[in-house]
């Protein structure tokens, strides 16, 4: 009896606070706000173990068992709210399914053929409405709401369209695959319609809708930024309209109350170089050259320059052997491995090869030396090597890319 009493008490609580629970499920992501108006609701639902939360200050979340029940009982409501036309057609289609099974059971072949035709027509209208509903958003994306001149109204219209797209997404989610499989049963005709054509249309429609939602959100962010800039320009315009002598000045800012990020200056490195091909820099170059010539003897280095090492040849024409550069030797081996196809996993990572070799060489010098060697190869050898560059954005100059790695592969095409 105690178990029955608890079940009845839980059902009465759901009936009493049904509006709050449905509002949380449909519009608030299954969350009930933690405020004074919901104290009684939260205490009752916590008593019946229908909500949960981790922290004392967090909003309460509906439990999964209750969410699954709400998903089941609100599918028709979600479908009606998203698109009344599709909901009406789906209701007509459901009644046709019942008539179709009855005609098939009674072996009324003429009625069965007629109902099959009506089912096909009704389902084609549903698919067409789904396509039209998703295609509508493409016009908003292409226009960017430019036909609305007022910026505030344009932002509001964009927000309304995003809400409509969310309602349409709820419509797609309300079509449960298992329910359609149960509706089709073992009938080949219904299985072809409900498990092939309708899911394909829903999948394509949802894919287009997700793309439209993403573009609409990006447009909303851009419109809000334009709205902010428009208000800023409007403020200057109002000041100028009231005072014709108004000129914006940095002195108008109260730096004592100015946010810290606005007082921080990002360093901008400028390296001055003379352009020998620009006649305008001739004067600076001449002055620089005259300054260099005017250095006294005491300012110049007194250390004599070392003699250049030469190669001594004996009478027989033999020469002293020179040590080969280990960097050049390693690069030649790597290139030869790639050209010959003698590569274990099909590719060689330049930085990994440098680490394995044990050479004391920085990555920038190694990559630039390897790139120079590849550029000096014969065209026939270059055609057998594909280079993939790994890059990242420069932290100071955002429009520049820094090469941080190279991968060599055997290829029949040209280098990229």
Ranges of each domain in the chain: 2-73, 76-238, 326-410
Contact call for residues 80 and 87 (beta carbons, < 8 A):
yes
Contact call for residues 210 and 139 (beta carbons, < 8 A):
no
Q: If you average pLDDT over residues 248-255, what whole number do you get?
A: 63
Contact call for residues 97 and 183 (beta carbons, < 8 A):
yes
By three-state DSSP, how is residue 16 classified? helix
What average pLDDT does the chain have? 77
Query: Is the pLDDT assigned to residue 130 strictly greater than 70?
Result: yes
If you average pLDDT over each of 85-94, 103-112, 258-267, 338-347, which comes out highest?
Answer: 103-112
The pLDDT confidence band at residue 249, using thresholds 50, 70 and 90, is: low
Q: If you average pLDDT over residues 8-20, what whole number do you get?
A: 84
Query: Is the pLDDT assigned to residue 261 strictly greater than 70?
Result: no
> Which of 130-134, 245-249, 348-352 bottoms out in mean pLDDT, i.e. has the lowest?
245-249
**What angle is formed at CA 150 by the lines to CA 147 and CA 156, rounded to 5 degrees?**
90
Residue-wise pLDDT for 374-383, tens only, equals 888 888 888 8
Contact call for residues 134 and 83 (beta carbons, < 8 A):
no
How many Cα atoms occupy the beta-carbon half-sphere of 180 within 13 Å? 21
What is the DSSP secondary structure assignment for residue 256, as one 8-state letter?
A: T
The pLDDT confidence band at residue 330, using thresholds 50, 70 and 90, is: confident
Q: If you average pLDDT over residues 50-73, what whole number do you get?
A: 78
Query: Is the pLDDT assigned to residue 10 strictly greater than 80?
Result: yes
Query: Is the pLDDT assigned to residue 26 strictly greater than 50?
Result: yes
If you average pLDDT over each of 282-286, 306-310, 385-389, 397-401, which comes out highest?
Answer: 385-389
Residue 157: other Cβ atoms inside 10 A: 16
243 vs 84, residue with greater confidence: 243
Does this model's pTM top 0.85? no
pLDDT of residue 12: 85
pLDDT of residue 416: 37
For β-strands 347-349 and 60-62, DSSP reports them as unpaired
Handedness of CA 29, 31, 37, 41 (dihedral sign): positive
Token readout for 360 is 């004391």
153 vs 71, residue with greater confidence: 153
Q: What is the C-alpha to C-alpha distance for residues 165 and 159, in angstroms, rounded to an integer?
A: 10
Q: If you average pLDDT over residues 150-171, what whole number do you get?
A: 83
pLDDT of residue 297: 47
pLDDT over 90, % of the chain: 0
Q: If you average pLDDT over residues 173-182, what whole number do you get?
A: 78
Contact call for residues 60 and 51 (beta carbons, < 8 A):
yes
């Amino acid at each position: 009896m105690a178990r029955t009493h608890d079940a009845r008490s839980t059902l009465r609580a759901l009936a009493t606070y049904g509006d709050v629970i449905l509002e949380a499920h449909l519009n608030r992501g299954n969350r009930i706000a933690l405020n004074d108006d919901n104290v009684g609701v939260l205490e009752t639902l916590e008593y019946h173990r229908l909500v949960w939360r981790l922290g004392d200050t967090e909003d309460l979340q509906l439990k999964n068992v209750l969410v699954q029940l709400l998903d089941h009982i609100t599918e028709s409501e979600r479908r009606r709210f998203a698109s009344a036309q599709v909901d009406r057609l789906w209701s007509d289609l459901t009644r046709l399914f019942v008539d179709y099974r009855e005609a098939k059971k009674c072996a009324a072949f003429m009625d069965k053929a007629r109902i099959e035709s009506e089912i096909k027509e009704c389902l084609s209208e549903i698919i067409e409405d789904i396509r039209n509903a998703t295609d509508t958003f493409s016009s908003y994306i292409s226009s960017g709401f430019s036909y609305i001149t007022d910026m505030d109204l344009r932002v509001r219209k964009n927000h309304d369209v995003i809400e409509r797209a969310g309602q349409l997404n709820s419509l797609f989610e309300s079509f449960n695959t298992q329910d359609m499989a149960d509706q089709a049963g073992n009938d080949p005709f219904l299985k072809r319609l409900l498990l092939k054509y309708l899911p394909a249309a829903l999948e394509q429609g949802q894919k287009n809708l997700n793309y439209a939602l993403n573009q609409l959100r990006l447009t909303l962010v851009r419109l809000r930024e334009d709205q902010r800039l428009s208000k800023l320009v409007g403020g200057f315009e109002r000041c100028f309209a009231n005072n014709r002598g108004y000129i914006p000045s940095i002195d108008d800012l109260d730096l004592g109350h100015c946010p810290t990020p606005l007082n921080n200056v990002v360093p901008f490195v400028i390296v001055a170089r003379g352009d020998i091909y620009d006649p305008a820099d001739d004067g600076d170059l001449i002055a620089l050259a005259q300054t260099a010539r005017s250095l006294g003897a005491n300012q110049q280095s007194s250390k004599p320059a070392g003699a250049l090492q030469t190669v001594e040849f004996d009478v027989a024409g033999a020469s002293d052997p020179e040590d080969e550069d280990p960097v050049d030797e390693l690069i030649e081996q790597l290139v030869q491995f790639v050209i010959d196809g003698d590569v274990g996993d099909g590719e060689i990572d330049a930085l990994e090869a440098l680490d394995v070799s044990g050479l004391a060489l920085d990555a920038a010098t190694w990559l630039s030396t390897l790139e120079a060697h590849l550029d000096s190869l014969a065209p026939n050898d270059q055609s057998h090597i594909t280079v993939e560059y790994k890059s990242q954005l420069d932290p100071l100059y955002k429009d520049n890319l820094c090469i941080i790695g190279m991968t060599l592969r055997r290829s029949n095409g040209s280098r990229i």
